[in-house]
Amino acid sequence: MSQTPLPEGESVFDLACYLISSARLAMDETPRYGSLRLIVAASRLIAAAEAMEGVPPDDTLLEWKRSIDENLFKVMNQYPEYGEWLADLTRTVGREATQRNLA
């Protein structure tokens, strides 16, 4: 599975446009698409942060972004696998949050 060509180095304006449009769209779409919009937003947010001056690089976030970009389209045709992948990623995120808070 190749990586999705999501935009890199976006502005806050770009992300605000995306999120507002997604909020409107979520009123007409099934919940699974809401999940897709949010996970895409996470990828784009990580990319935007990486491009910002003064934001230290975060290899963990970049690894999450790589995983998102590789797996997000499973929501279309491999929904159970999408759910499994997202559950695994969410578990990883929870573990990482605790590790950072306890460090």
Partner 1 sequence: MSQTKAAAPAAAAAAPPTGTEAEPFDVFLAMRKRRMHRDFRPEAVDEALMERLVYAAGRAPTARADLRHLVVVTDPRMIASIRQVCPGWLNNAPAMIAVCTDTRLSDELIGPGGVPATLMDSGAAAAYVSLAAPPLGLGICWVTSWPEEAVQGALYLPDHIRPDILIAIGHPVAQPPLAPRRFKPVVHRERFGSEPAA
Taking CB under 8 A as the rule, does residue 2 contact partner 1? Answer: yes
Q: Which of 4, 60, 98, 99 touches partner 1 by CB under 8 A?
A: 4
- Enumerate residues 6+ apart whose C-beta is below 8 A from 3: 66, 69, 70
Taking CB under 8 A as the rule, does residue 51 contact partner 1? Answer: no
Taking CB under 8 A as the rule, does residue 60 contact partner 1? Answer: no
Q: Which of 77, 80, 102, 103 touches partner 1 by CB under 8 A?
A: 77
Between CA 35 and CA 41 the distance in angstroms is: 10
Number of residues that bind partner 1 (CB under 8 A): 22
Q: Where are the alpha helices (DSSP H) in the chain?
A: 12-26, 31-51, 59-71, 74-77, 79-102
Between CA 5 and CA 26 the distance in angstroms is: 22
- Which residues bind to partner 1, rule: CB under 8 A? 1-2, 4-7, 13-14, 17-18, 21-22, 24-25, 28-29, 33, 37, 40, 73, 76-77
